[in-house]
Structure 1
Amino acid sequence: MKKISIIGAGLGGLSCGIRLQSKGFQVTIIEKNQHPGGKMMPVELGDYRFDFGPNTITMPWVFNRVLNDTGFHLNDYLTFTRLERHTKNIFHDGTSFIQSVHADEVISQLKELDPYAAYRYWDYLKVVERLYKLSEEAFFPKAITSYKDFLAPAMSKAFFSVRPFEKLAHFNKKYFSNPHLQKVFNRYATYIGSSPYQTPATFSMIAYLEMISGVYTVKGGNTQIAKSYEEVFKKLGGEIIYGETAVEICIKDQTAYAVKTDSGALYEFDRLVINGDYVTSTRNLIKESDRKGLSNRKLDQYEPSISAFVILAGLKTYQPDIHHHQVYFPEDYQKEFEDIFTYKRFPEDPTIYISHSAYTDQSVSKGSNLFILVNAPAASIESVESYKKKIYRILESKGIPISEQLEVEKVFTPDTLKSMFKAYKGSIYGLSSNSMKDAFLRPGNKSKYVKHLYYTGGSTHPGGGSPMVVMSGMNVADSIISDIGSFRFE
């Protein structure tokens, strides 16, 4: 029986492990933290419960697909709830716009806010659906092992059809004349840790998922996805070792053969999968002399994605006016991204996102459990306390009773993310998609420099976001099966 080791029990590692274990491999996952799911982490502060991330779930069929042919069904473990009106967007002048999967409701609002957009909204939906379908058919289903994969006729044709040379902000201006609404749909760039003024218009396809397919939440919290995967993986015979940190990948003749951990253990394998940040994992675990052609200097040239300043705030009294997803936009949205990517500083007037899962299911937490996120550069912050108070002041001015209701709180900074998840400079998605190269030619899922080594996760193909990470894990598993075969006997 062939042995597979996976470093990291994030969604990519878990989905990869489930598929390989069900095909007859013996899989061991090594995880430095004490929970499955990576950044999909539950946090409890007294009687308050929070999902650290992700807060927005789309494409539930992808999560179900992981269990195909395993004899298990995800519906036996999870209940997905579709949020018909999923996000309330509030602008600096007090006007608001609620995103809904019902086009008639959206158009009704657009007639008041932007008559031009009301006229063009159906055209917008058709275009973003086409972009999504092209990506689903050409880019999502297979692991990328070499840039040559993009030269295949089908993939090459799809590439030139998904608006790779147009910027997302420019694309959205064609359909929305109101600057407030442009901000709403430009915000999709942040879902992949990037700037709408630099990232390709291809990612407008995210609008298909939110405005047509729908945004979902999971009963009991989105972290139940990772817990369910962990349970299935173990029932299939897989092993997860928590609380051990991989410190070195042993390589001989350019071939990986074992992993050393901080406990002194040595795990030998036939194939290795890294489910972690591409840059940090490669730099920390593989000696530079063992990856000729991929120097530390070359790794350092990657631009990190957006990071985050996160506050988990428990308010004593349930706040019915705070939606499940609620966003407060600044007056100058473009300046926020200049602050982050050009000046590498925390935004002076930031967009503030709140996830309030108790809005949909009050049983998950006492009072109101506010996950408050501000886009941040992948950099350290001088004064955590002063920036936190700044965010609180802004929210207080919007009518959220922080000072009188706050009972518990916990703050996470880019440095926190860097330490907890070995994230590249504290970035959330590893690498930004601010250039066409980084958007489409992300690090491949199979190492070009070390044999028997594969990568899965948000910093590799097909990119960031929970469904993409899950697809990445399945693609890597299929690539390994293709390379060395399946061992399951019917």
Structure 2
Amino acid sequence: MKQIVIIGAGLGGLAASIKLASQGIKVDVYEKNSYAGGKMMPISMGSYNFDFGPNTMTMPEVFDSVFEEAGVNPRDYFEWIKLDHHTRNFDHDGSSFVMSTDTDVMIEQFEKLDPYAATHYKSYLNEVDRLYRLSKSSFFPKMFTSWQDYMSPSLFQAVLKVRPLEKMNHFHERFFRNPLMLKAFNRYATYIGSSPYLSPATFAMIGYLEMVQGVYYIKGGNTTLANAMEQLAIELGVTFHFETLVTKIHVGIDRAERIETEDGKVQYIDEVIINGDLLKVYPSLVDEVHRPSFRDATITKVSPSISAFVIMVGLSSKLDLIHHQVYFSYDYKKEFEELFNGAWPEDPTIYISNSSYTDSAVSPDGDNLFILVNAPPTVNHSEVSLENYKEKIYSKLENHGLPIRKHRVVEKILGPDEIENRFHAFRGALYGISSNSLRNSFLRPSNQSKDIKNIYFAGGSTHPGGGSPMVVISGKNVAKHIISQARND
């Protein structure tokens, strides 16, 4: 029986472990933290419970498929709650609108705020539908292992059809005129840690997920998903080694032979999947001499995605908030220019998730606010006091009628440095490499090492990209490839 080791119990590693174990393959998962889920980290302070991330869940069928393909009913493990009117957006002048999967509700709002959008919104939905379906059929299901995989005629034709040379902002200007509408839809670029003024219009397909398919929440908190996946993996025979740091992958002649943990224990392997930040974890585990196609000098030149500054604060009461809301900066383009030049935005856009609006059980005594602003990656960024920046955020929110200081009971903050250390994230980036260029958008690092054929990669820093559904897809794709290879051996 093959011995597979997965390094990292994030969603990609969990998905791979379930797929492999369901086929009778022996799997050991090593995780340096005490829980499964990676960035899907649970945080509790008294009666206030928070999901560090992700807060916005889309593509529920991807997560359900992990369970269904293992022969079980996902509803026996967790429950989806659909948020029909999911995100309230505010501009600097106080104007606002709510994003909804109800097309009539959207058009009714556009008729008051953006008449041009009211007449073009259905065309927008048709186009993002097309972008999504092309991506789903041509990119998501494939495990890319070499340049040849990208060069197939059918894939090349698909790339040409998903607007690779048009920028996201330019694409949205075809359908929206009101500055707030443009900001709200351009914000999808942040879901991949990038700028809407630089990333391809291809990623506008995220609009299909939120505005047609819908935004979801998992009852009990989104971290319930990671717990459910861990439970299923254990039921299938997966062995987890929590609080166990893998420090080295020993390589023989072009093959990984064994892993070594911090306490000196060794396990021999047939295949190993690295479910972590490729840019950070791979070079830390494999000596450079064994990875000539992925040298340290190459890594240092990579443009990372944005990081984040997060405040989790529990309040003594309920404020006028729905599940998701965004308070935009005055000059959105300037904000991204600052971020990718290593500066903390002077006027940051603020995102707030308040899951207690949907699920009071996670925070029975008041709102549980997860507040996130985009931050520059670590190294070469301007120094800032996180405490002072927190106060800047609170002051801006007070100007929008949210007196957080007055109702604050518990509070915790995390910045890019802690994100880098806690999650082994390259320069604290949330999504690995940014998608601010054509190359980084469509030629993501492959899911298999070019130099060591039994080392595979799953996670947001490799194909098909960032975001929880993509991470799960990457884990499934790698597992399917290993299973196929095993059948052919």
Q: Secondary structure of 1:276's match?
A: coil
**Match of 2:472?**
470
Which stretch has the larger CA shift, 384-393 or 200-209? 384-393
TM-score normalized by the length of structure 1: 0.98
Alpha-carbon distance in structure 2 between the residues aligned to 1:413 and 1:102: 36
The offset of 1:486, in angstroms, is 8.6
- Paired residue type of 1:359: Y
The offset of 1:485, in angstroms, is 2.2
Count residues with an aligned counterpart: 485
Which stretch has the larger CA shift, 63-72 or 177-186? 63-72
Alpha-carbon distance in structure 2 between the residues aligned to 1:457 and 1:156: 24
Which stretch has the larger CA shift, 149-158 or 178-187? 149-158
**Match of 2:309?**
309
**Match of 1:253?**
253
**Match of 1:228?**
228
Q: Deviations over 1:460-480 (max 9, x none)?
A: 000011111000100000111
Task: Tell me, yes or no, if structure 1 residue 324 matches structure 2 residue 323.
Answer: yes
**Match of 1:4?**
4
Q: Tell me if structure 2 keeps the 8 A contact 1:23–1:486.
A: no
Q: Tell me if structure 1 keeps the 8 A contact 2:344–2:384.
A: no
Q: Secondary structure of 1:249's match?
A: strand
**Match of 2:346?**
348
**Match of 1:431?**
433
Q: Tell me if structure 2 keeps the 8 A contact 1:59–1:467.
A: yes
**Match of 1:404?**
406
The offset of 1:152, in angstroms, is 1.6
Alpha-carbon distance in structure 1 between the residues aligned to 2:108 and 2:50: 34
Alpha-carbon distance in structure 2 between the residues aligned to 1:388 and 1:94: 21
**Match of 1:418?**
420
Q: Tell me if structure 1 keeps the 8 A contact 2:293–2:450.
A: no
The offset of 1:43, in angstroms, is 0.2
Alpha-carbon distance in structure 2 between the residues aligned to 1:218 and 1:254: 43
The offset of 1:225, in angstroms, is 0.5
Q: Tell me, which stretches of 5 or more residues in structure 1 are unaligned?
A: none
Q: Tell me if structure 1 keeps the 8 A contact 2:335–2:347.
A: yes
Q: Tell me if structure 2 keeps the 8 A contact 1:24–1:486.
A: no
Alpha-carbon distance in structure 2 between the residues aligned to 1:229 and 1:345: 38
Which stretch has the larger CA shift, 149-158 or 234-243? 149-158
Q: Secondary structure of 1:44's match?
A: strand
**Match of 2:128?**
128
Alpha-carbon distance in structure 1 between the residues aligned to 2:294 and 2:150: 21
What is the aligned-residue RMSD (CA, Å)? 1.1
Q: Tell me if structure 2 keeps the 8 A contact 1:117–1:176.
A: yes
**Match of 2:212?**
212
**Match of 2:147?**
147
Alpha-carbon distance in structure 1 between the residues aligned to 2:392 and 2:459: 33
Q: Deviations over 1:199-230 (max 9, x none)?
A: 00000000000000000000000001100000
**Match of 1:96?**
96
Alpha-carbon distance in structure 2 between the residues aligned to 1:194 and 1:96: 24
Which stretch has the larger CA shift, 187-196 or 384-393? 384-393
Task: Tell me, yes or no, if structure 1 residue 361 matches structure 2 residue 359.
Answer: yes
Alpha-carbon distance in structure 1 between the residues aligned to 2:387 and 2:294: 39
Q: Tell me, which stretches of 5 or more residues in structure 2 are unaligned?
A: none
The offset of 1:431, in angstroms, is 1.1
Structure 1 moving runs of 4+ over 4 Å: none
Q: Secondary structure of 2:170's match?
A: helix
- Paired residue type of 2:218: V
- Paired residue type of 1:91: D
Alpha-carbon distance in structure 1 between the residues aligned to 2:257 and 2:153: 35
Alpha-carbon distance in structure 1 between the residues aligned to 2:50 and 2:487: 41
Q: Percent of counterpart pairs with the same letter?
A: 51
Alpha-carbon distance in structure 2 between the residues aligned to 1:200 and 1:144: 20
Q: Deviations over 1:418-438 (max 9, x none)?
A: 110000000111111010110
- Paired residue type of 1:244: T
**Match of 1:58?**
58
Alpha-carbon distance in structure 2 between the residues aligned to 1:219 and 1:403: 28
Alpha-carbon distance in structure 2 between the residues aligned to 1:104 and 1:154: 37
- Paired residue type of 1:363: A
Q: Deviations over 1:63-110 (max 9, x none)?
A: 011123423221111110110000000111110010000000000000
